[in-house]
Amino acid sequence: MILAIESSCDESALARFDPACGIAGEWVHSQIDLHKEYGGVVPDLASREHLKNFFPLLEAASLAAERGTITQIAVTNGPGLAGCLALGIAFARSLGLAWDVPVVGVNHLRGHAYSPFIALHEAAPERFAAEAFDELLPHLGLIVSGGNTILFEIDTGRKLTVLAETVDDAAGEALDKGAKLLGLPYPGGPQVERLAASGDSKVFDFPKAIAPRNERRFSFSGLKTSLRYRLEKMGDAELEGAMPDLCAGYQRAVIDQLIGKTKHLIQAGDYSSLGLSGGVSNNKALRAAMERLAGRYRMPCLIAQPKHTGDNAGMIAFAAYADPDALALDDFSIEPALRLAKR
Ligand code: ADP
Ligand code: MG
Protein backbone atom coordinates (compact mmCIF):
# COMPACT_ATOMS: atom_id res chain seq x y z
CA MET A 1 0.00 0.00 0.00
CA ILE A 2 1.32 3.45 -0.97
CA LEU A 3 0.60 6.46 1.26
CA ALA A 4 0.71 9.70 -0.76
CA ILE A 5 1.08 13.24 0.54
CA GLU A 6 0.34 16.37 -1.52
CA SER A 7 0.90 19.95 -0.35
CA SER A 8 2.24 21.86 -3.36
CA CYS A 9 -0.19 24.77 -3.13
CA ASP A 10 -3.53 25.34 -1.42
CA GLU A 11 -4.75 21.80 -0.75
CA SER A 12 -3.44 19.47 1.94
CA ALA A 13 -4.16 15.91 0.86
CA LEU A 14 -3.49 12.29 1.80
CA ALA A 15 -4.36 9.09 -0.08
CA ARG A 16 -3.85 5.38 0.32
CA PHE A 17 -3.40 3.35 -2.86
CA ASP A 18 -3.25 -0.40 -3.29
CA PRO A 19 -1.85 -1.49 -6.71
CA ALA A 20 -4.12 -4.56 -6.53
CA CYS A 21 -7.39 -2.62 -5.88
CA GLY A 22 -6.93 1.10 -6.55
CA ILE A 23 -7.40 4.07 -4.24
CA ALA A 24 -8.37 2.76 -0.81
CA GLY A 25 -9.13 6.19 0.65
CA GLU A 26 -8.38 9.86 0.06
CA TRP A 27 -8.67 12.97 2.18
CA VAL A 28 -8.38 16.60 1.09
CA HIS A 29 -8.48 19.84 3.05
CA SER A 30 -9.03 22.76 0.67
CA GLN A 31 -7.80 26.21 1.69
CA ILE A 32 -9.78 28.10 -0.96
CA ASP A 33 -11.96 29.91 1.59
CA LEU A 34 -8.88 31.11 3.46
CA HIS A 35 -7.25 32.64 0.35
CA LYS A 36 -10.45 33.96 -1.24
CA GLU A 37 -10.40 37.29 0.56
CA TYR A 38 -6.90 38.01 -0.82
CA GLY A 39 -7.92 37.20 -4.41
CA GLY A 40 -5.28 34.45 -4.75
CA VAL A 41 -3.07 32.04 -2.81
CA VAL A 42 -0.90 33.67 -0.11
CA PRO A 43 2.18 31.40 0.18
CA ASP A 44 2.92 32.06 3.85
CA LEU A 45 -0.69 31.40 4.90
CA ALA A 46 -0.75 28.24 2.79
CA SER A 47 2.35 26.81 4.57
CA ARG A 48 0.90 27.51 8.02
CA GLU A 49 -2.37 25.88 7.02
CA HIS A 50 -0.63 22.70 5.80
CA LEU A 51 1.15 22.46 9.12
CA LYS A 52 -2.22 22.61 10.89
CA ASN A 53 -3.98 20.20 8.52
CA PHE A 54 -1.70 17.22 8.21
CA PHE A 55 -2.20 15.78 11.67
CA PRO A 56 -6.03 15.87 11.60
CA LEU A 57 -5.86 14.34 8.10
CA LEU A 58 -3.59 11.61 9.39
CA GLU A 59 -6.13 10.90 12.10
CA ALA A 60 -9.03 10.92 9.61
CA ALA A 61 -7.15 8.37 7.56
CA SER A 62 -6.66 6.22 10.72
CA LEU A 63 -3.18 5.58 9.51
CA ALA A 64 -1.61 5.20 12.90
CA ALA A 65 -3.60 1.99 13.40
CA GLU A 66 -2.94 0.66 9.91
CA ARG A 67 0.61 1.78 9.40
CA GLY A 68 1.84 -1.82 9.08
CA THR A 69 0.17 -2.01 5.67
CA ILE A 70 2.08 1.00 4.25
CA THR A 71 5.07 -0.13 2.18
CA GLN A 72 5.97 3.16 0.52
CA ILE A 73 5.37 6.88 1.04
CA ALA A 74 5.07 9.11 -2.06
CA VAL A 75 5.27 12.88 -1.66
CA THR A 76 5.01 15.76 -4.14
CA ASN A 77 8.46 17.36 -4.42
CA GLY A 78 7.53 19.99 -7.08
CA PRO A 79 6.49 22.08 -8.82
CA GLY A 80 4.75 24.28 -6.27
CA LEU A 81 5.26 26.79 -3.47
CA ALA A 82 8.63 26.16 -1.78
CA GLY A 83 7.39 26.42 1.81
CA CYS A 84 4.38 24.17 1.15
CA LEU A 85 6.49 21.53 -0.61
CA ALA A 86 9.04 21.60 2.23
CA LEU A 87 6.32 20.91 4.80
CA GLY A 88 4.98 17.94 2.85
CA ILE A 89 8.44 16.48 2.43
CA ALA A 90 9.33 16.98 6.11
CA PHE A 91 6.05 15.29 7.08
CA ALA A 92 6.65 12.39 4.67
CA ARG A 93 10.22 11.86 5.80
CA SER A 94 9.21 11.93 9.47
CA LEU A 95 6.58 9.24 8.86
CA GLY A 96 9.08 7.27 6.79
CA LEU A 97 11.62 7.36 9.62
CA ALA A 98 9.08 6.53 12.32
CA TRP A 99 7.57 3.64 10.36
CA ASP A 100 10.78 2.52 8.62
CA VAL A 101 9.20 2.86 5.15
CA PRO A 102 10.94 4.21 2.00
CA VAL A 103 9.92 7.69 0.77
CA VAL A 104 9.85 8.68 -2.91
CA GLY A 105 9.39 12.09 -4.54
CA VAL A 106 6.70 12.53 -7.21
CA ASN A 107 6.43 15.31 -9.79
CA HIS A 108 3.00 16.96 -9.28
CA LEU A 109 2.60 17.36 -13.06
CA ARG A 110 3.22 13.63 -13.57
CA GLY A 111 0.34 13.14 -11.15
CA HIS A 112 -1.90 15.23 -13.42
CA ALA A 113 -0.57 13.45 -16.53
CA TYR A 114 -1.49 10.01 -15.18
CA SER A 115 -4.73 10.99 -13.39
CA PRO A 116 -7.03 10.16 -16.39
CA PHE A 117 -5.97 6.51 -16.03
CA ILE A 118 -6.94 6.10 -12.35
CA ALA A 119 -10.54 5.01 -13.05
CA LEU A 120 -9.42 2.53 -15.70
CA HIS A 121 -6.97 0.91 -13.27
CA GLU A 122 -9.61 0.80 -10.56
CA ALA A 123 -12.10 -0.98 -12.85
CA ALA A 124 -9.68 -3.86 -13.56
CA PRO A 125 -6.30 -3.55 -11.82
CA GLU A 126 -4.78 -6.74 -13.20
CA ARG A 127 -5.83 -6.06 -16.77
CA PHE A 128 -4.52 -2.49 -16.45
CA ALA A 129 -1.07 -3.71 -15.43
CA ALA A 130 -0.97 -6.49 -18.03
CA GLU A 131 -2.39 -4.85 -21.15
CA ALA A 132 -5.07 -2.15 -20.81
CA PHE A 133 -2.57 0.69 -20.29
CA ASP A 134 -0.33 -0.39 -23.18
CA GLU A 135 -3.33 -0.63 -25.53
CA LEU A 136 -3.90 3.13 -25.02
CA LEU A 137 -0.35 4.09 -26.02
CA PRO A 138 0.81 6.22 -27.66
CA HIS A 139 -1.33 8.61 -25.63
CA LEU A 140 -1.87 12.33 -26.27
CA GLY A 141 -2.65 14.20 -23.05
CA LEU A 142 -3.66 17.76 -22.20
CA ILE A 143 -2.99 19.18 -18.73
CA VAL A 144 -4.89 22.39 -17.97
CA SER A 145 -4.43 23.91 -14.55
CA GLY A 146 -3.94 27.25 -12.83
CA GLY A 147 -0.22 27.21 -13.54
CA ASN A 148 0.19 24.96 -16.58
CA THR A 149 -1.18 24.28 -20.06
CA ILE A 150 0.72 21.36 -21.58
CA LEU A 151 0.15 18.91 -24.42
CA PHE A 152 2.32 15.81 -23.99
CA GLU A 153 2.59 12.26 -25.23
CA ILE A 154 3.33 8.96 -23.53
CA ASP A 155 4.88 6.69 -26.18
CA THR A 156 4.66 2.90 -26.40
CA GLY A 157 7.85 2.67 -24.30
CA ARG A 158 6.04 4.75 -21.62
CA LYS A 159 8.37 7.69 -22.21
CA LEU A 160 6.71 11.04 -21.62
CA THR A 161 7.53 14.00 -23.90
CA VAL A 162 6.21 17.58 -23.83
CA LEU A 163 4.77 18.64 -27.23
CA ALA A 164 3.39 22.12 -26.58
CA GLU A 165 3.21 24.56 -23.67
CA THR A 166 1.90 28.04 -23.02
CA VAL A 167 4.32 30.88 -23.60
CA ASP A 168 2.54 33.22 -21.17
CA ASP A 169 -0.56 32.60 -19.01
CA ALA A 170 -1.95 29.12 -18.33
CA ALA A 171 -5.59 28.37 -19.26
CA GLY A 172 -6.69 28.47 -15.59
CA GLU A 173 -4.74 31.66 -15.02
CA ALA A 174 -6.46 33.24 -18.06
CA LEU A 175 -9.85 32.30 -16.58
CA ASP A 176 -8.88 33.53 -13.10
CA LYS A 177 -7.49 36.84 -14.39
CA GLY A 178 -10.46 37.35 -16.72
CA ALA A 179 -12.83 36.69 -13.80
CA LYS A 180 -10.93 39.22 -11.68
CA LEU A 181 -11.41 41.88 -14.39
CA LEU A 182 -15.12 41.03 -14.33
CA GLY A 183 -15.21 41.52 -10.55
CA LEU A 184 -15.78 37.82 -9.77
CA PRO A 185 -14.25 36.14 -6.70
CA TYR A 186 -11.24 33.77 -6.74
CA PRO A 187 -10.86 31.14 -8.13
CA GLY A 188 -12.49 32.53 -11.25
CA GLY A 189 -12.69 29.42 -13.46
CA PRO A 190 -15.80 27.92 -11.77
CA GLN A 191 -17.45 31.39 -11.59
CA VAL A 192 -16.94 31.96 -15.31
CA GLU A 193 -18.38 28.49 -16.01
CA ARG A 194 -21.44 29.19 -13.83
CA LEU A 195 -22.27 32.49 -15.57
CA ALA A 196 -21.38 31.20 -19.05
CA ALA A 197 -24.10 28.54 -18.70
CA SER A 198 -26.81 31.18 -19.27
CA GLY A 199 -24.85 33.23 -21.82
CA ASP A 200 -24.41 33.23 -25.58
CA SER A 201 -20.79 32.72 -26.67
CA LYS A 202 -21.39 34.38 -30.06
CA VAL A 203 -22.33 37.85 -28.76
CA PHE A 204 -18.73 38.92 -28.04
CA ASP A 205 -15.92 38.00 -30.36
CA PHE A 206 -12.66 37.35 -28.50
CA PRO A 207 -9.36 36.56 -30.25
CA LYS A 208 -9.30 32.76 -30.49
CA ALA A 209 -5.85 31.43 -31.31
CA ILE A 210 -3.17 34.04 -30.90
CA ALA A 211 -0.41 31.58 -31.77
CA PRO A 212 -0.65 30.42 -35.41
CA ARG A 213 -2.56 27.14 -35.73
CA ASN A 214 0.40 24.97 -36.63
CA GLU A 215 2.69 26.38 -33.94
CA ARG A 216 3.19 24.12 -30.95
CA ARG A 217 2.49 26.66 -28.27
CA PHE A 218 -0.44 28.21 -26.43
CA SER A 219 -0.85 31.89 -25.64
CA PHE A 220 -3.62 33.37 -23.50
CA SER A 221 -2.39 36.81 -22.45
CA GLY A 222 -3.84 38.53 -25.57
CA LEU A 223 -7.25 37.20 -24.66
CA LYS A 224 -7.10 38.76 -21.21
CA THR A 225 -5.96 42.10 -22.69
CA SER A 226 -8.81 42.06 -25.17
CA LEU A 227 -11.29 41.58 -22.32
CA ARG A 228 -9.73 44.49 -20.45
CA TYR A 229 -10.09 46.87 -23.43
CA ARG A 230 -13.66 45.74 -23.96
CA LEU A 231 -14.57 46.35 -20.30
CA GLU A 232 -13.00 49.82 -20.35
CA LYS A 233 -15.58 50.81 -22.96
CA MET A 234 -18.55 49.50 -20.98
CA GLY A 235 -20.58 51.22 -18.27
CA ASP A 236 -21.57 49.41 -15.04
CA ALA A 237 -25.19 48.82 -16.07
CA GLU A 238 -24.17 47.49 -19.47
CA LEU A 239 -21.58 45.21 -17.86
CA GLU A 240 -24.07 43.70 -15.46
CA GLY A 241 -26.43 42.72 -18.27
CA ALA A 242 -23.60 41.42 -20.43
CA MET A 243 -21.89 39.26 -17.76
CA PRO A 244 -23.28 35.88 -18.96
CA ASP A 245 -22.43 36.58 -22.63
CA LEU A 246 -18.97 37.91 -21.73
CA CYS A 247 -18.24 34.79 -19.65
CA ALA A 248 -19.57 32.49 -22.37
CA GLY A 249 -17.48 34.21 -25.07
CA TYR A 250 -14.33 34.31 -22.94
CA GLN A 251 -14.67 30.67 -21.87
CA ARG A 252 -15.35 29.65 -25.50
CA ALA A 253 -12.14 31.42 -26.66
CA VAL A 254 -10.08 29.52 -24.04
CA ILE A 255 -11.68 26.19 -24.97
CA ASP A 256 -11.37 26.76 -28.72
CA GLN A 257 -7.66 27.35 -28.43
CA LEU A 258 -7.18 24.22 -26.27
CA ILE A 259 -9.23 22.07 -28.65
CA GLY A 260 -7.65 23.62 -31.79
CA LYS A 261 -4.09 22.79 -30.70
CA THR A 262 -5.08 19.31 -29.55
CA LYS A 263 -6.76 18.64 -32.89
CA HIS A 264 -3.66 19.81 -34.73
CA LEU A 265 -1.49 17.33 -32.81
CA ILE A 266 -3.97 14.48 -33.34
CA GLN A 267 -3.74 15.10 -37.07
CA ALA A 268 0.07 15.29 -36.96
CA GLY A 269 0.49 12.04 -34.99
CA ASP A 270 -0.91 8.54 -34.64
CA TYR A 271 -2.37 8.31 -31.14
CA SER A 272 -4.37 5.50 -29.55
CA SER A 273 -6.02 7.64 -26.86
CA LEU A 274 -6.68 11.17 -25.71
CA GLY A 275 -6.47 12.43 -22.11
CA LEU A 276 -7.56 15.53 -20.18
CA SER A 277 -6.63 16.55 -16.63
CA GLY A 278 -5.81 19.42 -14.25
CA GLY A 279 -8.10 21.86 -12.40
CA VAL A 280 -9.61 23.41 -15.55
CA SER A 281 -10.65 19.94 -16.79
CA ASN A 282 -13.40 20.20 -14.18
CA ASN A 283 -15.12 22.50 -16.70
CA LYS A 284 -18.10 20.72 -18.27
CA ALA A 285 -17.95 22.58 -21.60
CA LEU A 286 -14.27 21.64 -21.99
CA ARG A 287 -14.94 18.01 -21.07
CA ALA A 288 -17.73 17.84 -23.65
CA ALA A 289 -15.58 19.49 -26.36
CA MET A 290 -12.75 17.04 -25.70
CA GLU A 291 -15.12 14.08 -25.90
CA ARG A 292 -16.52 15.36 -29.21
CA LEU A 293 -12.99 15.76 -30.58
CA ALA A 294 -11.99 12.22 -29.56
CA GLY A 295 -15.26 10.88 -31.02
CA ARG A 296 -14.53 12.51 -34.36
CA TYR A 297 -11.18 10.68 -34.55
CA ARG A 298 -12.58 7.47 -33.00
CA MET A 299 -10.16 7.61 -30.09
CA PRO A 300 -10.91 6.56 -26.51
CA CYS A 301 -11.14 9.71 -24.37
CA LEU A 302 -9.94 9.52 -20.78
CA ILE A 303 -10.83 12.46 -18.57
CA ALA A 304 -9.76 12.70 -14.93
CA GLN A 305 -12.66 12.20 -12.51
CA PRO A 306 -13.70 15.58 -11.03
CA LYS A 307 -12.21 14.65 -7.61
CA HIS A 308 -8.84 14.12 -9.33
CA THR A 309 -8.77 17.32 -11.40
CA GLY A 310 -7.51 19.77 -8.77
CA ASP A 311 -4.68 19.12 -6.34
CA ASN A 312 -5.17 15.71 -4.74
CA ALA A 313 -3.02 12.92 -3.31
CA GLY A 314 -4.78 10.09 -5.21
CA MET A 315 -3.02 11.14 -8.40
CA ILE A 316 0.34 11.37 -6.59
CA ALA A 317 -0.03 7.79 -5.32
CA PHE A 318 -1.12 6.60 -8.76
CA ALA A 319 1.85 8.28 -10.50
CA ALA A 320 4.20 6.65 -7.97
CA TYR A 321 2.72 3.32 -9.12
CA ALA A 322 2.21 3.88 -12.89
CA ASP A 323 4.94 6.27 -14.00
CA PRO A 324 8.26 4.50 -14.65
CA ASP A 325 10.12 7.78 -14.06
CA ALA A 326 8.34 8.77 -10.87
CA LEU A 327 10.73 6.98 -8.57
CA ALA A 328 13.83 8.44 -10.19
CA LEU A 329 13.49 11.45 -7.90
CA ASP A 330 15.23 10.01 -4.92
CA ASP A 331 16.85 13.18 -3.69
CA PHE A 332 14.52 15.14 -1.50
CA SER A 333 15.43 18.64 -2.35
CA ILE A 334 12.27 20.61 -3.12
CA GLU A 335 11.86 21.58 -6.78
CA PRO A 336 9.50 24.61 -6.95
CA ALA A 337 10.06 24.95 -10.74
CA LEU A 338 10.06 21.23 -11.67
CA ARG A 339 8.85 20.60 -15.25
CA LEU A 340 6.71 17.75 -16.58
CA ALA A 341 9.59 16.49 -18.70
CA LYS A 342 12.56 17.82 -20.61
CA ARG A 343 11.61 19.11 -24.07
P1 ADP B 1 -2.76 24.79 -10.00
O2 ADP B 1 -2.37 23.81 -8.95
O3 ADP B 1 -1.80 24.83 -11.16
O4 ADP B 1 -3.11 26.15 -9.49
P5 ADP B 1 -5.22 23.27 -10.16
O6 ADP B 1 -5.03 21.99 -10.87
O7 ADP B 1 -5.31 23.26 -8.68
O8 ADP B 1 -4.10 24.27 -10.65
O9 ADP B 1 -6.49 24.00 -10.76
C10 ADP B 1 -6.88 25.28 -10.36
C11 ADP B 1 -7.38 26.02 -11.58
O12 ADP B 1 -8.53 25.35 -12.15
C13 ADP B 1 -7.82 27.43 -11.29
O14 ADP B 1 -7.29 28.29 -12.27
C15 ADP B 1 -9.36 27.37 -11.40
O16 ADP B 1 -9.96 28.56 -11.81
C17 ADP B 1 -9.53 26.29 -12.46
N18 ADP B 1 -10.83 25.64 -12.41
C19 ADP B 1 -11.36 24.90 -11.41
N20 ADP B 1 -12.63 24.50 -11.70
C21 ADP B 1 -12.90 25.01 -12.93
C22 ADP B 1 -14.05 24.99 -13.79
N23 ADP B 1 -15.16 24.34 -13.45
N24 ADP B 1 -13.96 25.65 -14.99
C25 ADP B 1 -12.85 26.30 -15.33
N26 ADP B 1 -11.75 26.37 -14.58
C27 ADP B 1 -11.77 25.74 -13.39
MG1 MG C 1 -2.56 21.54 -9.56
At 16-47, the pLDDT tens digits run 999 999 999 999 999 888 898 888 889 999 99
| Chain segment 235-267, per-residue pLDDT in tens | 999 999 999 999 999 999 999 999 999 999 999
Task: Say if residue 331's pLDDT is above 70.
Answer: no
181 and 287 belong to one structural domain:
yes
Q: From residue 342, give the alpha-carbon distance in Å to each of 17, 137, 164, 209.
A: 28, 20, 12, 25
Environment of ion ligand 2 (residues, CB < 5 A)? 145, 311
185 and 259 both lie in a single domain:
yes
Q: Pick the residue whose CA is nearest to atom 9 on ligand 1.
A: 279
Clarify whether residues 172 and 58 are in a common domain: no
Instruction: Note whether 182 and 318 are same-domain residues.
Output: no
> Could you report the per-residue pLDDT of 73-126, keeping only the tens digit for each?
999 999 999 999 999 999 999 999 999 999 999 999 999 999 999 999 999 999
Output the pLDDT for position 19: 97
Considering its fold, how many domains does the chain have in total? 2
Q: Are residues 13 and 147 in the same domain?
A: no
- Pick from 6, 84, 145 the residue to mutate for probing ligand 1's pocket: most ligand atoms within 8 Å of its CB: 145
Nearest 5°: CA angle at 259, between 258 and 261? 70
294 plus 145 within the same structural domain: yes
Same domain, 74 and 110: yes
Whether residue 63 lies inside any domain: the answer is yes
Q: What CATH number is attached to the domain comprising 187? A: 3.30.420.40
Ligand 2 geometric centre to CA of 27 (Å): 16
Residues 61 and 208 in one domain: no
Q: Which ligand approaches the C-alpha of residue 313 most closely?
A: 2
Contact 167, 219 (CB under 8 A): yes
Per-residue pLDDT, 207:
82
Give tens-digit pLDDT for 129-169: 999 999 999 999 999 999 999 999 999 999 999 999 999 99
Q: Quick check: CB of 78 below 6 Å from ligand 1?
A: no
- Whether 65 has a pLDDT exceeding 80, the answer reads no
Instruction: Give the pTM.
Output: 0.95
CB-based contacts of 86, cutoff 8 Å, min separation 6: 47, 334
Which residue did the predictor score with more confidence, 291 or 50? Answer: 291
Full residue range of the structural domain in which residue 226 is found: 137-299
Distance between CA atoms of residues 295 and 119, nearest Å? 19
